[in-house]
Amino acid sequence: MSGSKPDILWSPHHPDRYVICDSELGLYRIGPSSGAEETTATLLAINSDTPYMKCVAWYPKHEPECLLAVGQANGRVVLTSLGQTHSSACKELVGKEFVPKHARQCNTLAWNPVDSNLLAAGLDKHRADFSVLIWDVSSRMALDSGASANEKLRLSLAEADSGSVVTKPLYELGQNDACLSLCWLLRDSKLLLAGMHRNLAIFDLRNTSQKTFVNTKAIQGVSVDPHFHDRVASYYEGQLAIWDLRKFEKPVLTLTEQPKPLTKVAWCPTRTGLLATLTRDTNIIRLYDMQHTPTPIGDETEPTIIERSVQPCDGQIGSFAWHPSSQNRMVVVSATNRVMTDFTVFERISLAWSSTSSLMWACGRHLYDCAEDSGGGEGSAERDIATKMRQRAGSGYGHDTVQLWRNHLLAGGDDPQLKSLVFLPMMVTHMKLCAEDLELKIQGNKQSLVYSGIKNIVKTSATESRRSWSGSEWQTDVPRFHSDERCLALRLCGWISRGSDIDVETFLRSLEQEGEWERAAAVALFNLDIRRAIQILNTGASTAKGELNLNVVAMALSGYSDEKVCLWREMCSSLRLQLNNSYLCIMFAFLTSEPGAYDGVLFESSVAVRDRVAFACMFLNDVQLPRYIDKLTNEMKGAGNLEGVLLTGLTNDGVDLMESYVDRTGDVQTASFCMLKGSPVDVLKDPRVQCWIENYRNLLDAWRFWHKRAEFDIHRGKLDPSSKPLAQVFVSCNFCGKSISYSGAAVPHQGRGFSQYGVGGSPTKSKVTSCPGCRKPLPRCALCLMNMGTPVSHCPGTGRSEEKVDLTRENKLAQFNNWFTWCHNCRHGGHAGHMLSWFRDHTECPVSACTCRCMQLDTTGNLLPADSS
């Protein structure tokens, strides 16, 4: 191989030895170096006896080890050895030469893996001579018997004397042709696959006059997959072809062509279906994972291929060789200076994520299952949103349209954000009622106001009134603001209830019942009733165990005085920050701040938005209030905080807010329900909203929550009539081509093509079995042989008793049983109920002599819904 690229061969039996051949042969031993992960190669021996090397093949048997056959540029094949203590068997063989009749380049060599004394050599073309010669290396015949005078003549005397030259091959194949690559087939050791000039040929040594061949350009580097003996790879320039010997007419697969010609192709001996390829002048090795995917439909399925590439070293790669036993390991030698890299191809990781949030991945021969940890106290907080949504969907979250507040409980009940949404439907209801009640003076679209939030409501001016502390002797008045809109806002915040009553006592009681003492106290205080606040705190301290703190706070509270400069005020404003309950904190902030400057209350982010808004509605003037509301709205939008819905309403602003909420949490479920429940139609048309809804539907489908999805669709159809799906299936009469739907004849009623059809007991029952257009009979059910349109329950033959019970019990099911159904493949069909019960026990079509496996063609038909209704 003068000046040509190096090649590597692993020893077939020593897992730590390989040979690199370029202009000479070098035997290396690879072993762990002093470093932890590294390996080093030690040069054991060099053999430079054979010039003009073209190809090398390693003797496949244990003994003699390290015997190499070298093919030379003039066609001679020489047996040689490297650095071994020669056994007698080896000594006998080493130095043997096999000389073809006419000199030409030897392109390839292949030892027979079973009859290891057979060595096949592929030569270039020479006129009438053969290009595939199979030598018997154990043959002891020299020149005495068969060699002609002519043959003697062309061999030098010295060679003839030594008796080590063989000129008569055991088999001669491929006359007048060139052989570029060879390999013995693993399925039968008598078969030899040869890449000839423009064709691939399989020679059978038992009958050498016959050959199987196929014309192709891809004749270089033929190699058999060691794991799949009928699979062969070969290439031509940049094109790689995969052949199946059982179907040899054409390649089963041709891989994408590479811009540079290929130089080596090798199947991985340790991994099934992994093929490595190398092109010229590159530093990457391309790998192809070939998998046989048994698909039930069709014969023309191709193996699926995954292509990837690895870069074992920086320099250009001269050649590579898979390790014979170590998994996915190869040694790579650089093109120029014999830099070797020991390299293990990392196994492709395939990952599958089920819709029920369990994860599975496979790497090499390992399979990992990763289930979400469902146990543990704080598990639910860390759970993936998909799991949460699935649980919520399973428990019917969002579906309860009557008692809206229950949704919060259905959702699991401990998400403060979702809790705040409880008020959303209430708010909408409120708004609708309030709009009627108050006959708002604001001119404009009443409908739009119904869905808008506080932000839009509190825009009108309010009257200022000064109100004094109730039940106390202080003189200072606190300015408070009133208007109908502010009142409405307070209602929306939940502080005051519907109607003319503007007392907060009801609200306070409900808070007390829920044990929210601090909040109740704060609300009482903001309503300027400090005694009530202190009373609440006292009750709280006595009820809640160990909440001594509340008494202390009550004490502190009772010390309030309206003097501007005093010790109490000073201490409270500094020490309040140490209180860990934010409501207690804002109480003191309120008391210690100047009228109109309530930043300590308004920007305390851990206080519920609706309380802060209510507070703002009471104490901020017409200039401050909109500014504060705008600021808070933007803050909520930026954070995606659902509490902000109170401010934005379900307007376009609300969609923005919801968008950042979905971006943050991925909770399309809540988003879909909110938008669907409370939004006007034009907001529902927003592509974002449609996207959430569609994604939620897809999720439900993926979880096989088909009934839930259907419920959702029904619900959606009620709230958003434009979303009703159009009819997807129409049944037309075979004779007249008109729709057989009765109502369809008159009014184009869409979407209910089936269910209206064939309901037993209807007045038109007698006509139901014929086409309403032309009165011709409808096709017959393949099972009961009645014309379609006949109710299932009336079929005497096939109707099971239990089915009848079902029918009488559940009318809806009976309707479905009457539906038309048919196989798209064989076109046979009948009543849905009959078909279902047939395919429960059978795989083939019920029509005799029809072998269609209808049910197997239905990929989803065999799945069961996860939410049994």
Partner 1 sequence: MELHILEHRLKVLSIEKEGIQLCTHGLIKLAFLASKTRCKFFSLTETPEDYTIIVDEEGFKEFPQSEHISVADASWLALNVVSGGGNASSSQPIGVTKIAKSVIAPLADHNISVFMLSTYQTDFILVRERDLPLVMHTLSSEFTLLRVVNGETVAVHNVGVTNGFVKPKLVPRPIIHPLSSPSNMFCVTSLDPDTLPSVATLLMDVMFYSGGSKEAGASVEESSHICFFSFSLIEGYVSLVMDEQTTRRFPNNVLFTSASGELWKMVRIGGQPLGFDECGIVAQISEPLATADIPAYYISTFKFDHALVPEENIHSVIEALRTEGSAP
| 97 vs 803 by CB, closer to partner 1 | 97
In angstroms, give the least distance from the CB of 251 to partner 1. 13
Distance of CA 509 to the CA centre of its chain: 51
| 97 vs 512 by CB, closer to partner 1 | 97
| 3 vs 796 by CB, closer to partner 1 | 3
In angstroms, give the least distance from the CB of 75 to partner 1. 7
| 9 vs 123 by CB, closer to partner 1 | 123
| 22 vs 65 by CB, closer to partner 1 | 22
| 207 vs 722 by CB, closer to partner 1 | 207
Q: Report yes or no: 649 and 629 within 8 Å, Cβ to Cβ.
A: no
In angstroms, give the least distance from the CB of 167 to partner 1. 9
Contacts of 715 (CB under 8 A, 6+ apart): 399, 401, 676
CA-nearest of 485, 425, 430 to 455 is: 485
3-state class (DSSP) for residue 608: coil
In angstroms, give the least distance from the CB of 172 to partner 1. 6
| 210 vs 868 by CB, closer to partner 1 | 210
**Token pair listed for 620:** 């901020």
| 2 vs 463 by CB, closer to partner 1 | 2
| 81 vs 167 by CB, closer to partner 1 | 167
3-state class (DSSP) for residue 854: helix
Q: Which residues pair with 276 in a beta bridge?
A: 266, 287
Report residue 244: phi and psi, to 5°.
-115, 120
Q: Report yes or no: 515 and 489 within 8 Å, Cβ to Cβ.
A: no
In angstroms, give the least distance from the CB of 99 to partner 1. 5
CA distances from 517 to 354, 522, 575 (A): 45, 9, 20
CA distances from 347 to 119, 312, 370, 481, 802 (A): 35, 14, 19, 71, 55
In angstroms, give the least distance from the CB of 215 to partner 1. 5
Q: Report yes or no: 24 and 75 within 8 Å, Cβ to Cβ.
A: no
In angstroms, give the least distance from the CB of 95 to partner 1. 17
DSSP state of 402: S
In angstroms, give the least distance from the CB of 8 to partner 1. 20
**Token pair listed for 53:** 């090397």
Sign of CA dihedral 765, 768, 773, 776: negative
| 173 vs 587 by CB, closer to partner 1 | 173
| 170 vs 552 by CB, closer to partner 1 | 170
Q: How far apart are CA 835 and CA 829, in angstroms?
A: 7
| 2 vs 542 by CB, closer to partner 1 | 2
In angstroms, give the least distance from the CB of 57 to partner 1. 19
**Cis ω on the peptide bond leading into residue 479 (within 30° of 0)?**
no
In angstroms, give the least distance from the CB of 202 to partner 1. 12
| 47 vs 105 by CB, closer to partner 1 | 105
578-584's contacts with Cβ under 8 Å and 24+ in sequence apart are: 579/553, 581/518, 582/606, 582/607, 583/518, 583/519, 583/521, 583/522, 583/607, 584/518, 584/521, 584/522, 584/553
Sheet holding 349-353, edge to edge: 349-353, 359-363, 366-370
Q: How far apart are CA 741 and CA 755, in angstroms?
A: 10
- 353 half-sphere exposure, CB direction, 13 A CA radius: 5
- Residue 257: how many CB atoms within 10 A of its CB? 12
CA distances from 711 to 199, 398, 399, 671, 701 (A): 64, 11, 8, 17, 12
In angstroms, give the least distance from the CB of 302 to partner 1. 22
Per-residue b or e along 218-233, where b marks 16 or more CB atoms closer than 10 Å to that residue's CB: bbbbbbbbeebebbbb
Q: How far apart are CA 426 and CA 435, in angstroms?
A: 14
In angstroms, give the least distance from the CB of 51 to partner 1. 7
In angstroms, give the least distance from the CB of 184 to partner 1. 17
Distance of CA 800 to the CA centre of its chain: 43
Q: Report yes or no: 313 and 332 within 8 Å, Cβ to Cβ.
A: yes
Sign of CA dihedral 125, 129, 135, 139: negative
| 69 vs 629 by CB, closer to partner 1 | 69
Q: How far apart are CA 186 and CA 337, in angstroms?
A: 35
List of residues contacting partner 1 (CB under 8 A): 2-4, 51-52, 54, 73-76, 99-105, 124-130, 153-155, 172-178, 198-199, 203, 208-211, 215-217
In angstroms, give the least distance from the CB of 102 to partner 1. 5
| 126 vs 569 by CB, closer to partner 1 | 126
Q: Hey, what amino acid is at 848? A: S
Distance of CA 250 to the CA centre of its chain: 35
In angstroms, give the least distance from the CB of 52 to partner 1. 6
| 215 vs 344 by CB, closer to partner 1 | 215
| 74 vs 316 by CB, closer to partner 1 | 74
3-state class (DSSP) for residue 242: strand
Q: How far apart are CA 447 and CA 651, in angstroms?
A: 12
Report residue 353: phi and psi, to 5°.
-115, 115
In angstroms, give the least distance from the CB of 171 to partner 1. 9
| 102 vs 446 by CB, closer to partner 1 | 102
CA distances from 314 to 3, 280, 334, 566, 836 (A): 22, 15, 9, 78, 62
In angstroms, give the least distance from the CB of 68 to partner 1. 20
Sign of CA dihedral 142, 144, 145, 151: positive
In angstroms, give the least distance from the CB of 332 to partner 1. 23
